[in-house]
């Protein structure tokens, strides 16, 4: 029995909120599969993703296979006081370092970045990330990711993200997370021979 071939990425494109809404179930399937969450998580997240599309500075990039299947998704928006994630990170920074520095001023929140596991490992995540941030508003970008050695960690380090807050537990999730950030724009990609693995 042979394994099914990995879906080949045919196109990567910016999506409008209407285009993402039309494929929201598909996008959430990529999310739950990539994160290893139970399928019911998709229904819980759908209203949140829909609400995010209304925020200032929202942008989305989708990657599609040659069969027009969504195999990667990334989106974000301008972070602001009053947003759940902003308030959580502010609380964590005040508790651990006593101030927020300027991290929470004029930043783009990279909210979601997911590649279907069958399409991981070929640079698709970095391509989505770069396209998303190339047009992102804000002087810097922030994100949170579960602690641990993962492909996501290697990607974020490779493109220059540094620690903002480590081993933080967001309300409602028992796992430790890191908050990472860097100035925008991103540096140009390094040739493959100069990358560290």
Please give the Cα distance from 171 to 68 (Å, whole number).
37
Tens of pLDDT, residues 138-159: 999 999 999 988 999 999 999 9
pLDDT (tens digit per residue) in 154-187 = 999 999 999 999 999 998 888 999 999 999 999 9
CATH 3.30.750.24, applies to 9-194: no
pLDDT band for position 63 (50/70/90)?
very high
Instruction: Enumerate the active-site residues.
Output: 156
The order of strands in the sheet holding 162-168 is 9-14, 59-65, 70-78, 107-115, 140-146, 177-183, 162-168
The answer to whether the beta carbons of residues 96 and 165 sit under 8 Å apart is yes
Please state the pTM of the whole predicted model. Answer: 0.91
**pLDDT reported for residue 13:** 97
Distances (CA, A) of 8 to 72, 89, 116, 190: 11, 37, 11, 23
Residue spans per domain, the chain: 9-194
Reading the block at residue 170, the tokens are 């967001």
Q: What is the pLDDT of residues 67-99, one digit of tens each?
A: 999 999 999 999 999 999 999 999 999 999 899
Tokens encoding 55? 């925020």
Task: Determine the Cα–Cα distance for residues 130 and 132; give it in Å rounded to an integer.
Answer: 5
């Amino acid at each position: 029995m042979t394994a099914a071939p990995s879906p080949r990425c045919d196109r990567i494109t910016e999506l409008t909120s209407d285009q993402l809404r039309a494929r929201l179930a598909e996008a959430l399937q990529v999310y739950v599969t990539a994160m290893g969450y139970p399928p019911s998580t998709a229904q819980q997240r759908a209203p949140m993703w829909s609400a995010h599309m209304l925020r200032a500075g929202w942008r989305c990039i989708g990657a599609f296979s040659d069969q027009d299947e969504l195999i990667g998704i990334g989106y974000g928006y301008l972070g602001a006081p009053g947003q759940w994630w902003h308030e959580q990170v502010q609380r964590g920074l005040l508790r651990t370092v006593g101030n927020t520095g300027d991290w929470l001023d004029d930043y783009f929140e990279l909210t979601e970045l997911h590649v279907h596991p069958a399409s991981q490992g070929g640079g698709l995540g970095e391509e989505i990330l770069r396209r998303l941030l190339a047009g992102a508003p804000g002087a810097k970008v922030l994100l949170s990711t579960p602690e641990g050695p993962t492909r996501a960690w290697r990607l974020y380090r490779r493109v220059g993200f540094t620690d903002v807050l480590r081993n933080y537990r967001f309300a409602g999730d028992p796992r430790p997370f890191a908050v990472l950030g860097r100035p925008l724009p991103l540096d140009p990609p390094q040739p493959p021979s100069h990358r560290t693995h």
